[in-house]
Structure 1
Amino acid sequence: MVGRTLIDVAIIGGGPGGLGTAIALSQLPFVRITLYEKNPEPREAGAGISLSANAWKVLDLLGASEEVKGGSKSNTHQRNAFTGDVLGVVKSPENAQADSRGAIRARRTRLQSALLSRVPEGTIQYGKKLIHLENLPTRGVRLVFHDQTEAVADLVVGADGIQSIVRRTLLPDHHLSFTGTIAWRVIVAKACLAHIPDITTSTSWWWGESGHVYFSDVDDEDEKNPYFEITVRGYREPEILGRTVVWGVPATNDRVASRVEKYDRRIKDAVSIVPEGAWREFAMFAGPRLDRIIGWDNKVALIGDSSHPLSGAFGSGATFAMEDGWILARALDYSQSLGLSIRDALEIFNNIRSPYYARMYEHLDELEEKMRKSRQESKDFDDFLRAKIKYLIYGDKDFIYKNDIQKVWEDYIVSAEGQPR
């Protein structure tokens, strides 16, 4: 064991990734952390969030799993959005077998609260919108905030999401583009929907030609007044002019209702119940894969959506970001124990996580090709939907939902030190 060098770390962004990174790094006595969040108070946009075996593993490691509860996804129906016909039922998702707690859908705010409770007091500074980063020729990175305050850190962690200013500064030639998809999300009291047949009895996907509707519990069965999520998606939406990434802005009931007017009556009835002003709109943007998720002579690391701008392609973005933060902490601890530098630690982090994201991009490319062929070969719409469900929902994604991040790290150590298991 060698002496440890004190490291000042600035984390940009207070979402699940930033909070998870702060928790993981706070366990290292040689790290001094400040998390900078642009909002004036804790805030989490969205409705529900899916958590599977990979999420439980990292939440256990962060000590935050006990406080996270939600609705079970063990009874999931796939339906034709026009007719309501059931095209498939999953009683127990495969990834649930990797953890007895199963796959759940939880309120995003509950995950946020669970993580916040584990972040050491005094770590977070609110109202700190980053506007400028400068790679200093000597030590670290200079940060400038909207309120004209400044800071210097040995290491900057970009946990600032799809719109990441850290990524844009690091890689000015990397650009996002609108995917054509917009999601409208809301959570409402489950009791308001209980009279509509087949809506609240299970998690369900209702598939249309140019969009889909998703229904799910976000509270467990013990909740006195449980809430329920409705998400409406449009796949071929017109470009949003005059703005870039639209995230969590209010949407009118008419705007959402227009996307489901040709769907089954039950969907229209459910959408019509939402109070005016409750819908939030999320326009999906994505960008090409990054060759490396570190930069500036290994003074900056990107995590979560800032490192793989896929805009929710796998519905597990918060988990990916928390996994990133945990691996980053392990890499720093390991490197310091060997007398190595931050540079070495970030190379380890990149070598573990960057190939993982490359695999996701490859998976999406393969899926797109399968969907293209299915569209050409399908006899009718239901036939195409069955193929879509087969590849999109039931396709092999164990490398994501069954990922054991602790084992990933243990395997790296075995490989690095050349020790047989």
Structure 2
Amino acid sequence: MTARRPYVAVVGGGIGGLAVALGLRQQGIEAVVHEQARELTHQGAGIAIGANGHRALRDLGVTERLTASAARPVRADFRHWRTGRSMVTHHLTGSYEERFGAPFWTVERAAVQQALLARLGPEHVRLGARCTAVEQTADGAVLRFADGTAAEADAVVGADGIHSAVRHHLFGPDEAVFSGTSGYRALVPLDRLRHVPELAEPVLWLWLGPGRHFIAYPVADGSALNFLAVVPDRSWTVESWSTEGDPGELRAAFDGWHPFVTEVLGACDHPGRWALYDREPQRTWSAGRVTLLGDAAHAMLPHHGQGANQALEDAVVLARLLAGTDADGVAGALRGYERLRRPRTRLIQAGSRKNAGCFQLPDGPEAEARNERLTGLPDDLAWIHGYDALAALRTAPAPV
């Protein structure tokens, strides 16, 4: 009897879900994405794609589609919150690309989703499908949806975010961890910022100050500036891409900061605001024929800029492992995926938490010591940006 290749159901149509479905189909595996939204609105402003994420996108065949819309910052520049003094800089072209083997991009999240969707084909995405239950049988799994429909598959991938329904049904309820901070985010057209001299060249700006920090970088082929402003606020607990913040409160939170920051905030009329959560690392991601991917498996704070990158790494590894087995071998492939991916993402989750405090130190000896440590950033982060997920898969020990 000829072995049958697995059929895979993916829950969640974000970057990770679209990427794993695309990777599977490129390997000849039938995969369908079930997304609860009735349309893919592509919210979320900008993201950074490091060399590690770029390699995954290249493997998925979408980098050419993104080249026109991605920006390529020439350097990362850490600035003093009030004086504007450049404390540490690192090149993001030239030596970065030579060392890590791929470029560093800043791009709209929507552009990445659209590129993945175009390559995958919208006919492989089922919209308006809110997953309410996951059941496993002796030889498969069943997804049940709020509209009363069901879908059977040989494997299920929960790529449905930090509040994952799939994780809930696998492992029971758990609580996301609130960081006590929230992030304001928006895209500002650069033609509204022509009087800000620092924006004459594409740069990843990191403004570090007491109790808060401000990150900005170009997207949309350099026609817009994306910013993330992180502030302390234990009373703001709304975790949603679509919630709007008060622009007056945002500007007041950065009163006295350098004109770069205040001018950018002054040009923003409708900032989004969402509370920043992560989760404690999962002890396991998989049960039988069901596994987790991206934020559903390892939700992290944005302070390493690695959320989307890690979902992309997950996707290409999982797609290759499922493509290398038949329908009967799904559970073993999922165990291999988790064994390879979980140690790395745990470390990045921990580093993302640590960076929040590092970026928000008051002026003084601790801040000066931090600045000294930042001079070694390329070496400290080489294990993240220099990582090749598929090369790691090829050299991983064979399953026992």
Do they fold alike, i.e. is TM over 0.5?
yes
Equivalent residue for 1:214? 215
Q: What is the match of residue 291 of structure 1?
A: 283
Q: How does 1:365-380 map to 2 (within 5 A)?
A: 367=354, 379-380=364-365
Partner of 1:356: 344
Higher helix share: 2
* Aligned equivalent of 1:311: 301
Tell me the equivalent position of 2:34. Answer: 36
Normalising by structure 2, report the TM-score: 0.90
1:150 paired with 2:150, answer yes
1:51-90 equivalences under 5 Å are 51-69=49-67, 70-90=70-90
Offset of residue 290 of structure 1: 1.0
Q: Partners in 2 of 1:73 and 1:86 — Cα distance?
A: 16
The runs of 5 or more residues in structure 2 that have no matched partner are: none
Structure 2 residue aligned with 1:257, among 248, 251, 254? 251
CA contact (8 A) 2:184 2:229 kept: yes
CA contact (8 A) 2:10 2:17 kept: yes
Kept in 2: contact 1:250–1:280 (CA 8 A): yes
Distance between the aligned counterparts of 2:273 and 2:23, measured in 1?
A: 32
> Are the counterparts in 2 of residues 95 and 401 from structure 1 also a CA contact under 8 Å?
no
Residues 41-190 of structure 1: pairs in structure 2 closer than 5 A: 41-69=39-67, 70-92=70-92, 95-98=96-99, 102-136=103-137, 138-190=138-190
> Matched residues in 1 for 2:92 and 2:146: separation?
48
Deviation at 1:368, TM superposition (A): 6.9
Measure the CA separation in 1 of the matches of 2:173 and 2:122.
Answer: 38
Kept in 2: contact 1:54–1:404 (CA 8 A): yes
Identity %: 23
| Closer/same/farther in 2, CA of residues 173 and 14 from structure 1, 3 Å limit | closer
Moved more, 98-107 or 119-128: 98-107
Which has the higher mean CA deviation after the structures are superposed, 85-94 or 20-29? 85-94
Q: How far apart, in 2, do the equivalents of 1:271 and 1:386 lie? A: 25
Q: Work out the CA distance in 1 between the residues paired with 2:351 and 2:42.
A: 29
**Cα distance in 2 for residues equivalent to 1:218 and 1:204:** 13
Contact 1:257/1:268, CA 8 A, preserved across alignment: yes
Structure 2 equivalent of residue 346 of structure 1: 334
Q: CA separation of 1:37/1:85 partners in 2, compared to 1, >3 Å: closer, same or farther?
A: same
RMSD over aligned Cα atoms: 2.8
- 1:416 to 2:398 alignment: yes
Structure 1: tracts of 5 or more residues without a match: none
Cα distance in 1 between the residues matched to 2:399 and 2:167: 32
Number of equivalences: 396
Q: Which residue of 1 aligns with 2:24?
A: 25
Go from structure 1 to structure 2 and tell me whether the alpha carbon gap of 1:370 and 1:198 turns closer, same or farther (over 3 Å shift): closer
Asked if 1 retains the 8 angstrom alpha-carbon contact of 2:143 and 2:152, the reply is yes
SS of 2:27 mapped into structure 1: coil
Q: Report if the CA contact (8 A) 2:177-2:280 is conserved.
A: no
The corresponding residue for 1:192 is 192
